[in-house]
Amino acid sequence: MPMLKDPSTKYKPFKPLNLPNRQWPNKTIERAPRWMATDLRDGNQSLPDPMDGEQKLRFFKMLVEIGYKEIEVSFPSASQVDFDFTRRLVEEPGLTPDDVWLQVLAPCREELIRRTVESLRGAKKAILHIYLATSPCFRRIIFNMNKEESLKRAVECARFARSITKDDPSMAGTEWQFEFSPETFSDTEPEFAVQVCEAVKEAWGPTVENPIIFNLPATVEMSTPNIYADQIEYFCTNMTEREKFVVSLHPHNDRGCAVAAAELAQMAGAQRVEGTVLGDGERTGNVDLMILALNLYTQGVSPNVDYSDINSVIKVVEECTKIPVPERWPYAGSLVTSAFSGSHQDAIKKGFNLREKATAAGEEEWVIPYLPLDPQDIGRTYESVIRVNSQSGKGGAAWVILRSLELDLPRALQVEFSKIVQTETEKANRELRPAEIVTLFEEAYHLKSNPRFNLIDYNITTDRSQSPAPPEPGKALNTKNLKRRFTGIIEIDNVQHAVTGVSNGAISSLAAALSTLGIDLDVVDYKEHSIGTGRETKAATYIQCTAQGSKAQVWGVGLHQDVVQASLIALLSAASSFLASTSGSPAPFRPIRSNTLTNEDLQALEQLTPHAPAANGGLGSAKVNIEQLTRQAEAQ
Ligand SMILES: CC(=O)SCCNC(=O)CCNC(=O)[C@H](O)C(C)(C)COP(=O)(O)OP(=O)(O)OC[C@H]1O[C@@H](n2cnc3c(N)ncnc32)[C@H](O)[C@@H]1OP(=O)(O)O
Ligand SMILES: CC(C)C(=O)C(=O)O
């Protein structure tokens, strides 16, 4: 049957409560509720393959480690596995910490309650939980009971439960709590829910010190969360002896609003929440306790449970339930702290940059666009915060390079590199992994392999012959105008050449030397920063050049312990990029001109550190060149 044009013939809207003086909308949640984890009962009963004893134990230990103090461990009358598991937790020393309450569930049937209580014999702290559906739909369809019969059954079971627990001297070694759930509470007439619970309260006889727990489930979520909150506020304000009962929530997620329902209902007066870690449970699941806890945490409220290692939690849950956690699941999903799109990445990257400064100034507040929670707080790293595909912008690839190589690329270089990455993501039609982006960067800027220009050795000296005349005696020396001479050996396409050049500084003197080879580069932008600290500090240099006679702009990157050498390497990297950017061969540089080396240059070259001969000739070829040049110079 297709969807109806007029669904109102088949589905009736939920009738809201008339609660004109509702107070909850003005309340806030300022502390964590009592949590009760029902993964091993409500979570387990909905699994295609329920957990065996070992899986239950593994899950139980995880819940204890996270910090849950009330754990519904089983439905002991359902199966031997559940009964035995409960006995194991009671009997095996050290399994159940002294401050953890073991909770078990039974329907309102005497023989089943008896067996359930037996499973707890000898426990230190026990919560007996019984349930009876009270809604008109369930009364009519399942039990064929009227209100009086329902109420009577609830009271009888509460009395019976009392007689075999807190009133039974043989059970005196156990500290008992009693929980009653008017199942389908959210679909029950509010006055009737109050009537049943008043009667159950009287039958159990709670005290202020040992209150009864009324668990008010949205067994099936049927309305907007504000209506559930109204129902809870109505219950809290219409029951007598408020101090003798704890109001507990048990929201299911049929409409996808269980978290909202649990939060609004806490504002309405509930003190306790039942749910499961990562939301396993009947149909669409129970409310997710992890989400509720981290929602509190990101409001600055301690949840009293610890999700510092979310990945281990996910592993245990997935392995025990055999249900994978969706990638987009709040907080826990593998994609929820990852941004792929350019503007998100840009915002996150800027956020982290500012945060670094703010942290250095002692500020701790977390304000990062698009990231409501610091991923590190739940054991995730920043590496995966930004991931790169064809939807990404310059910030994405720049982030990967920053995190992987500690290189803080200048904006214009980010733009240039992002084009390379974009081409690659479109070609691959998938996300690029950080290692692939790093390789692209290293290749594009010749950091590892095959630069056409390599700096083999060099010397930078002051060239007094081309500097302004020395000052007259008694006048201060103006060092600003001193010229620098670069003399060095540069390997070009595996052949070493001796070159020299004079200019105002180290980089420009190398540029001058390169121009003797026909590579005329003008430096238009230069940035540098250090990497690391102490003895391991390195300099990273970025140089943007234009080539004379060409509109092309190219970037070079240089890394070295020595800042000057880093700059020279960066310029040669730019020269390699320039040659790569000019289409076609042969290379556009002219052969070396013999008259570019003076006798001083040749002497300076002779003093350079000797090199081990390389496969392609090493310094040997440089020496050959020097000797050739010397002979040519003499011949001229
Ligand atoms: C919302 C919830 O999650 S409630 C918890 C649900 N969890 C489970 O059911 C898991 C464990 N359950 C079981 O193992 C079994 O259902 C048992 C052992 C409890 C009962 O088994 P059976 O006696 O075979 O009954 P069955 O499974 O068919 O359950 C239906 C019966 O329980 C009755 N029932 C349902 N809810 C309740 C209740 N809260 N109190 C008393 N009886 C109830 C039904 O009316 C029906 O009785 P009927 O056979 O007289 O018509
Ligand atoms: C037993 C009750 C609390 C229950 O699981 C539900 O109503 O969903």
- The pLDDT tens digits for 105-149 are 999 999 999 999 999 999 999 999 999 999 999 999 999 999 999
What distance in Å separates the CA atoms of residue 64 and residue 69, rounded to the nearest whole number?
Answer: 7
Q: Which amino acid is at 633?
A: A
Cβ distance 217 to 235 under 8 Å? no
Question: Following CA atoms 131, 132, 133, 136 in sequence, which dihedral angle do they give, to the nearest 10 degrees?
Answer: -160
Neighbour tally for 472: CB within 10 Å: 6
- CB-CB contact of 397 with 421 (8 Å): yes
* 217 pocket-lining for ligand 2 (C-beta < 6 Å): yes
Which own/partner pairs from 546-554 qualify as long-range (CB within 8 Å, at least 24 positions apart)? Answer: 546/521, 546/522, 547/519, 547/520, 547/521, 547/522, 547/578, 548/520, 548/521, 548/522, 549/520, 550/578, 550/582, 552/578, 552/581, 552/582, 553/416, 553/524, 554/578, 554/581
Please tell me which residue, 121 or 476, carries the higher pLDDT value. Answer: 121
Return the structure tokens found at 308: 């510092």
Condensed to tens digits (0 to 9), the pLDDT of residues 97-106 reads 999 999 999 9
| Nearest ligand by distance to the CA of 50 | 1
Does residue 607 or residue 41 have the better pLDDT?
41
Average pLDDT over residues 334-356: 93
Q: What ipTM, to 2 d.p.?
A: 0.97
Q: Are 615 and 607 in contact (CB under 8 A)?
A: no
Ligand 1 close to Cβ of residue 288 (< 6 A): no
Distance 217 CA to ligand 2 centre (A): 6
Q: Nearest C-alpha to atom 26 of ligand 1 is from which residue?
A: 78
Amino acid 632: pLDDT: 47
Model confidence at 363: pLDDT above 50: yes
- Number of helices and strands (H, E) in the chain? 19, 14
Please give the Cα distance from 57 to 92 (Å, whole number): 12
Does pLDDT of 417 surpass 70? yes
The pLDDT-based confidence of 465 (bands split at 50, 70, 90) is: confident
Ligand 2 site, residue 129, Cβ cutoff 6 A: no
What pLDDT shows up at residue 539?
Answer: 97
Answer with the residue of higher pLDDT: 185 or 514: 185
Exposure of 7 by Cβ count < 10 A (0-12 exposed, 13-18 middle, 19+ buried)? exposed
pLDDT of 633 over the 50 cut: no
Note the pLDDT of residue 581: 74
Continuous H helices in 429-526: 434-444, 506-515
Whole-number pLDDT of residue 624: 40
Residues of the chain with pLDDT > 90, as a percent, come to 80
pLDDT tens figures, 582-621 = 654 444 445 544 445 666 766 766 666 444 333 333 333 4
Q: Is ligand 1 within 6 A of the CB of residue 45?
A: yes
Q: What angle do CA 29, 31, 32 make, to 5 degrees?
A: 105
How many other β-carbons are positioned within 10 Å of the β-carbon of residue 209? 7
Q: Above 70 in pLDDT, residue 74?
A: yes
Ligand nearest to the CA of 46: 1
Task: Give the pLDDT of residue 422.
Answer: 96
Record the tokens describing residue 615, joined without a space: 């496969």
Instruction: Using the mean position of ligand 2's atoms as its centre, give its distance from the Cα of residue 43 in Å.
Output: 11
User: Atom of ligand 2 at shortest distance to CA of 105?
Assistant: 1
Whether the per-residue pLDDT at 636 is higher than 60: the answer is no
- From residue 310, alpha-carbon distances to 255, 340, 596, 636 in Å are 26, 22, 66, 77
| Residue 19: band (very low, low, confident or very high) from pLDDT cuts 50, 70, 90 | very high
C-alpha pair distances (Å), 388 with each of 334, 537, 543, 547: 15, 29, 25, 31
Angle at 271 between CA 269 and CA 273, to 5 degrees: 115
Task: State in Å: Cα 129 to ligand 2 middle.
Answer: 10
Distance CA 65, CA 332 (A): 18
Element (DSSP H or E) covering residue 532: none
- Write the residue with the smallest CA distance to atom 27 of ligand 1: 78
Q: Tell me, using a 6 A CB cutoff, whether residue 183 lines ligand 1.
A: yes
Tell whether ligand 2 has an atom less than 6 A from the beta carbon of residue 226.
no
Q: Are 44 and 56 in contact (CB under 8 A)?
A: yes
Q: Taking residues 240-252, report their average pLDDT.
A: 98
Structure confidence by residue, pLDDT tens digits, 141-177: 999 999 999 999 999 999 999 999 999 999 999 999 9
Nearest CA to ligand 2 atom 7: 219
According to the model, what pLDDT value does residue 515 have?
A: 87
Q: Would the CB of 180 count as within 6 Å of ligand 1?
A: no
In the reported structure, the alpha carbon of residue 568 is separated from the centroid of ligand 1 by a whole-number distance in angstroms of 80
Both tokens assigned to 525 = 């932008």
Closest CA to 366 of 502, 378, 245: 378
Sequence-ordered list of residues with C-beta below 8 angstroms from that of 5, at least 6 positions apart, any chain: none
State if residue 107 touches ligand 1 by the CB under 6 angstroms criterion. Answer: yes
502, pLDDT greater than 90: yes
Name the DSSP letter for residue 46.
Answer: T
Which of helix, strand or coil describes residue 127? strand
Please say if the pLDDT value at position 477 is more than 80: no
Average pLDDT, the chain: 91
User: What pLDDT is stored for residue 447 in this prediction?
Assistant: 93
User: Ligand 1 centre from 219 Cα, in Å?
Assistant: 15
User: Is the pTM for the entire model greater than 0.90?
Assistant: no
The residue-averaged pLDDT of 274-280 equals 98
Instruction: Supply the DSSP symbol for 542.
Output: E
- The verdict on the CB of residue 183 being under 6 Å from ligand 2 is yes
For the record, the structure tokens of 140 come out as 């009519």
Provide DSSP, 554-614.
Answer: EEEEEEESSHHHHHHHHHHHHHHHHHHHS-SSS-SPPPPPGGG--HHHHHHHHHSPP-PPP
State the pLDDT confidence band at 403, using cuts at 50, 70 and 90. very high
131 close to ligand 2 (CB < 6 Angstrom): yes
Mean pLDDT of 257-279: 98
Helix (H, G, I), strand (E, B) or coil at 252: strand
Task: Give the residues across from 458 on adjacent strands.
Answer: 488
Overall average pLDDT of the 228-244 stretch: 98
